[in-house]
Structure 1
Amino acid sequence: MKNTVASLAATVPTLLWITVSLAAPNAEEEDLALVYGDKNTVSIATGSPQPLQRAPSTATVITAEDIAAMGAKDLDEVLETVPGVHVERSYIEYTPMYQFRGIVGNPTNPQVLMLQNGISINTLFRGDRGQAWGGLPLDNIARIEVIRGPGSALYGADAYAGVINIITKTAKDIDGTKIGARGGSFATWNTWAQHGGKWGEVEVAAYVNVGATDGFKKTIIEDSQTSRDQFFGTHVSEAPGPVNTGYDSVDANLDLAYDKWRLRSGYKLRDNLGMGVGQTATLDPIGTETSERINADLSWNDAQFAKNWGLGFMASFLHYKEDANNYHMFPAGTRLGPFNYPDGMIGSPGRWERQIRISAFANYTGFTDHNLRIGWGHDDLNLYKTRTLKNFFLLPNGLPMPTGAVTDYGSIQPHILPHTRIDDYFYLQDEWSFAPDWTLTAGVRYDSYSDFGATVNPRLAMVWNVDLDLTAKFLWGRAFRAPSFNEQYGINPSGGGNPGLQPETMDTYEVDISWQARRDTEVNLSFFQYDLAQIISAVANPAPAPGLAFQNTGKQYGRGLELETTWDATSSLRLTGNYSFQTSIDETHNQDAGYMPHHHVYARSDWRFMQPWLASVQVNWVGDRKRAYGDARPPIRDYTTIDLTLRTDNSKKGWDFAASIRNLFDATVLEPSLAPGTSLPYDLPMPGRSFYLQATFSF
């Protein structure tokens, strides 16, 4: 670690000094701040747009211009730049896990709520974005707003460790037609088209993106089958062998706006999605998965409906399908107990979900110095169809017995049965400017669930404008994570459902300071502390029952700080960076909760060295990651990556080009496998050096 820190300490200043030195003679008159879009307002904190500096939450805004500057091609690359956030990976399909402030889940990631245009896209079975997520392209994203910390007082379930709101582009954001193509390492390619304009009185924005990748092929040295081979004297493991991370993709969005009405719809398909390592931490070069997401929402908003009143409502629909194609849970020739599997142990589960959400809100400003927001909603959440194809049958002792051909066991031994969950909720929020330069935001939300009961989540936020250039915030909030359908109703010896589960809960305390140190320099500092309770974990069933079951067990507390700064060094050079420190303790074992970096540094320089060219250098250092209790493997190794991007930024119609090198020095990057050490002893390798070229044409 000392060598890595020393290397980073030498690298970052050198890169910044070189960039400053080169930029000075060619400084442009143009104000660099105009290049990065609207980063000064945020809507996710209260439901209405307001200055970011005074928002009653610890929030980050990333604009489309930021995304282009950093050369990111997928959402995961963007979120890694947010203070307090680190993107880990599940061994299953290499699904990303967005870890906030040291709060780490199992191989799913239900502690983070993801919204698209303010509407949840979390799935029911796992509680996260879905196992077959397959990434998200960025070309149609106008901005990303992130809350670090609780958001349940406004957004309800799963707005727990953090909230991510993806805001798609409207006709005004696009203003014309654009076509683009990108290609690069791992046989990756994407083509897309966008249009924004008017059709009579209707504003129209349309987008479609088609692509594919073979994925990187980093080697897994040992997998879970390696140890079984040693125990049973077989030689069937695919390890050492490559991970399987390829997929085909289709993304499409349509946005129609007329007067106070807006209709949005979207489609997201991921096909032939590779299994990463595999469903059971055993290399699976054969199995794939398909996911399909169809969404639509209709909204109406009138900020001036009547004197002192603003009203709005929304109705949304989400259909999600996740269908496996012959998971090879264990390879051909596997032996388990007295049984042999000549064709391997095969499973093909499938699930179909439907989510219908209706909500309404009212803003009232008739009381002096108060801004009241009242909201109501009804969510109908339905896992309406399941399928369980496999070539084995689980015996009462939990041992799988081979049955020959793959058969539909949905009627006699399903992995889960259909279930419905209803949530009716009500929330109240008041922004009270009770004194000059002081605002108190108080809110509470009540949720009534049909399966696990009611929950109440309040929050308080005091914002003090100490001076024109200095703001202090004092924040407290309570949040909850609802049990996923798999945790409540799953039928699986490796983690059986428990209908009696209660939500996880969290209380968070924060102090934030925002300082405009100079006209060209901004500094933000956040301190936080949280306490988690009723954590849901899979624990051993009492004898003689086989397997594991989910229980509310364990507590965790954490604390840390996040420092971020932006410096417009010249009219053509911007330097940004952040540092995060956190420590999280598993109270059950009085030990580090594990896996998240205690220290995380990100830095980027953007240099407009001549019109219309922009060069960006970014450095990402992840350090000091411990293992969780019971994981005896050595600490996860630190790493430093450096990325370069060169692009044009024409303000007029015509061609734009971009070239990017990720992980310039081909650093070894490993993310912790949350499987036990005997399953994947050497963690999850991430891509080495890669190259991408992009061209777009606007007209």
Structure 2
Amino acid sequence: MKKMIFAPFLIMASLTIIADESVADSDLELMSLYGGEEFISIATGVTQPIAKAPAVASVVTAEEIEKIGARDIDDVLETIPGLHVAKDSTGYNPIYTFRGIYAGLNPQVLMLINGIPITNLFQGDRNLVWGGMPVQSISRIEVIRGPGSALYGADAFAGVINIVTHEANGEEHFEAGARYGTFNTKDFWVSKGGSIGDLKFYGILEGQKTDGFNEKIKADAQSLWDMFGGTNASLAPGSVNTQRENYDARLELVYKNLTLRGGLQSRNNAGDGVGAAQALAENNRLSSQRFNTDLTYDNKAIIKDLSLKVQASYLHTTQEVEGDLVLYPAGSTGPFFDEFGVPIFPGGFPDGVIGSPEVYERHSRLNISSFYTGIDKHEVGFGTGYYYGDLYKVKESKNFGINPSTGFPIMPGDPVVDVSDTPFVFLEEDERENSYFFLQDIWQFANDWELTAGVRYDHYSDFGDTVNPRFALVWSTTRKLTTKLIYGEAFRAPSFVQTRAINNPLLLGNPTLDPEELKSYEIAFDYRPNYDLILNVNAFYYEWDDIIQFVSDPGGSTSTAQNAGEQTGHGMEFEARWSATERLKLIGNFAWQKSKDRNLDTDAANSPEKQLYAQMDWQFSEHWNLNLQANWVMDRNRAGGDARSDIDNYALVDMTLRRKSLWRGIDVALIVKNLFDEDAREPSPNSDFGAFIPDDLPLAGQTIMAEIRYNY
């Protein structure tokens, strides 16, 4: 199968070589094809032209982010070939789906901010109360499609997303802006940069507040319990709960070789989507307070031919509930039925079924890395590091289960009971340690050939050792064509909810889990026939083993996490970027993938098998710019056993009209998302009882925003 996939690309490379043999471009002309924004560092830790980097990678700059009218990083990531942003039912959190690798909590993707992971221990994702991330502080977003564990360790699995914030470069700068639009959505930001002597600084404050869109779902989990229990408690049909109030602050200070960063992400009054248990509730509100800081010493030449980078970082993150979290609304019997399907509490819970879980974590990292260039034609990188993660506090209050004070069941109508610091809490408090060492060599063994080989060893305190290698051969086939052959392995660490969940009536953790594993093979071509046109195409094949799934326990109603799943996938991605004129740029990409669940012998679920993206950016006069983009999401399959028809395809069209220098330093814009008010939906999960949200998860309809910004 792999030979069949790669053969057409080998033929294409051969034909291109023949066509270019007579071309006599100079090396200087070659380098002029790469602008300063076409460089990437996350592929190796060394800054390289993206065409020469040993990875299939994309970079989106702040200028491009502004042109498409993005408010959140998800608006940007949906433009990347082979990457689709789906939605989780709880909180409408993003599920970043690379190449058919889909999981509800999305721990198979590593997100970095300035190269530092923000993975949480509880779910293994960014945070259950994520709330999005605004874009005004962002200088660029770098994305690698494919594994990166040889450099970054755990969770650099299906892909790596690195968010690079604006640096303190010493330039005097001030910017302020605001937006207002549909659903009472309000954004603001203010930033300032400059220097005081040798000290450079940059700071920004951003705020977002919205009532959330009003798209409705027809039925929910409570609709099903109403059928079983004879109740009428469901709030469906009803609107999803997506309101939020966010505040983000970032500060960077640079003094010679030292950089100090600090960040705050405050999430308040956040809605729970279609409900934590896929049942609508009226007043559920969540919050999260996340604080990070890091100190970096970076000396490019501490001695001859040797660089040194030392970085220490700290992240504190919380997942909190404002008031009570209603899992099932007032009058519900909850999912409590005996073996004959008869409700255990036939009168229902007068205040609804309440369960309010809260989690508090702290993460500390120390990393040391170095690159040595004193060996001819080699650039050797090596480093070591230590991570300590502590899920130090778990809180829970609920009105069901066992009352730890009496030892008897909590009955409907009883007050909510705090079970924190008792054996009846939903999750064990625990910690995780990780120490690692990596080695990498970039070897230019011939003028046009470069081999990157690397390996990383990780030791974890809870599941042991793992070794992950990678190899990438980059061939400058001609002055216009680069060919890459890439092999990589990756692992995904089990989350604490998969290893330490207890007292859950449905799902139980398993402390003996192994990490998930991935092996990936890629071939890629970067072709730049002239200064105005870039063509990229790649093909891939992967094997995903030891997938962690919750498997039904014999003779019981619970399911326990097991390394039970296996999946393979293959596909291709194509991207074109054409500067048709000085003022007109066209971008397009197409991704196709076919992934198979090897246990069920069925197509893998939920990921789009085809994606098509097109963008036109047109500066039609000196001060006016029009950006149009369209995104088609197609051919998503249901999970095995899901009797619903396939998920509907959709196409979203966005428009941004921008006027620069309306007055001195003032720009204005009109941003319209989902221009034609398409009924677009992301897949809702299936269960042993069927789909609780049968008509899937609706996305926002037409959204209109007006923007004003001032630069000085």
Structure-2-length-normalised TM-score: 0.91
Mapped partners of 1:400, 1:359: distance in 2: 48
Within the candidate set 343, 358, 366, 2:366 is matched to 358
Within the candidate set 71, 74, 89, 1:91 is matched to 89
Mapped partners of 1:143, 1:653: distance in 2: 26
1:173 is displaced (CA, Å) by: 8.8
Match of 1:104 in 2: 102
Matched position secondary structure for 1:381: strand
Match of 1:82 in 2: 80
1:548 is displaced (CA, Å) by: 1.1
After superposition, the C-alpha distances for 1:169-225 in whole angstroms (9 at most, x for unaligned) are 013397411111111111110111100100221110000012210000111100011
Matches of residues 570-585 of structure 1 in structure 2 within 5 Å?
Answer: 570-585=581-596
Matched, 1:517 2:525: no
Within the candidate set 222, 225, 243, 2:222 is matched to 225
CA RMSD of aligned residues (A): 1.9
Within the candidate set 159, 182, 199, 1:162 is matched to 159
1:298 is displaced (CA, Å) by: 0.1
Matched position secondary structure for 1:230: helix
**Aligned residues with identical type, % of pairs:** 44
User: Is the Cα–Cα contact under 8 Å of residues 88 and 99 in structure 1 kept in the other structure?
Assistant: yes
1:338 partner letter:
I
Within the candidate set 501, 507, 511, 1:495 is matched to 507
Matched position secondary structure for 1:423: strand
Match of 1:683 in 2: 696
Match of 1:54 in 2: 52
1:630 partner letter:
G
User: Is the Cα–Cα contact under 8 Å of residues 656 and 672 in structure 2 kept in the other structure?
Assistant: yes
Matched, 1:626 2:624: no
After superposition, the C-alpha distances for 1:220-276 in whole angstroms (9 at most, x for unaligned) are 100011111112111110000110100111100000001010000000011010111
Mapped partners of 1:367, 1:474: distance in 2: 24
Mapped partners of 2:313, 2:664: distance in 1: 35
Q: May I ask how many residue pairs the two structures share in their alignment?
A: 663
Mapped partners of 1:332, 1:261: distance in 2: 56
User: Is the Cα–Cα contact under 8 Å of residues 281 and 329 in structure 2 kept in the other structure?
Assistant: yes
1:587 is displaced (CA, Å) by: 0.2
Q: 1:636 to 1:78 in 2, by over 3 A?
A: same
Mapped partners of 2:216, 2:423: distance in 1: 38
1:678 is displaced (CA, Å) by: 3.2
Match of 2:419 in 1: 409
Match of 2:626 in 1: 615
Match of 1:14 in 2: none
Larger RCO (CA within 8 A; separation ≥ 6) = 1
Mapped partners of 1:591, 1:205: distance in 2: 51
Mapped partners of 2:92, 2:197: distance in 1: 45
2:284 partner letter:
G
Match of 2:28 in 1: none
The runs of 5 or more residues in structure 2 that have no matched partner are 1-31, 337-342
2:146 partner letter:
G
Matches of residues 187-586 of structure 1 in structure 2 within 5 Å?
Answer: 187-325=184-322, 326-335=324-333, 336=336, 337-339=343-345, 340-393=348-401, 402=412, 404-410=414-420, 411-491=422-502, 492-543=504-555, 545-586=556-597
Matches of residues 615-694 of structure 1 in structure 2 within 5 Å?
Answer: 615-649=626-660, 654-676=665-687, 677-694=690-707
Match of 1:599 in 2: 610
Match of 1:26 in 2: none
Mapped partners of 1:91, 1:37: distance in 2: 41
Of 146-155 and 65-74, more deviation after overlay is shown by 65-74
Mapped partners of 1:413, 1:619: distance in 2: 50
1:394 is displaced (CA, Å) by: 5.4
After superposition, the C-alpha distances for 1:483-531 in whole angstroms (9 at most, x for unaligned) are 0011110112322111000100000000000000222111000100000
Matched position secondary structure for 2:565: coil
1:223 partner letter:
D
User: Is the Cα–Cα contact under 8 Å of residues 375 and 427 in structure 1 kept in the other structure?
Assistant: yes
1:403 is displaced (CA, Å) by: 6.6
User: Is the Cα–Cα contact under 8 Å of residues 174 and 194 in structure 1 kept in the other structure?
Assistant: no
User: Is the Cα–Cα contact under 8 Å of residues 147 and 157 in structure 2 kept in the other structure?
Assistant: yes
Mapped partners of 2:458, 2:172: distance in 1: 41
1:58 is displaced (CA, Å) by: 0.6
Matched, 1:172 2:183: no
User: Is the Cα–Cα contact under 8 Å of residues 243 and 285 in structure 1 kept in the other structure?
Assistant: no
1:165 partner letter:
N
Q: 1:369 to 1:201 in 2, by over 3 A?
A: same
Mapped partners of 1:554, 1:369: distance in 2: 43
Matched, 1:695 2:703: no
User: Is the Cα–Cα contact under 8 Å of residues 153 and 459 in structure 1 kept in the other structure?
Assistant: yes
Matched position secondary structure for 2:70: coil
Dislocated runs of 4+, deviation >6 Å: none
Matched position secondary structure for 1:555: strand
1:370 partner letter:
H
1:102 partner letter:
G
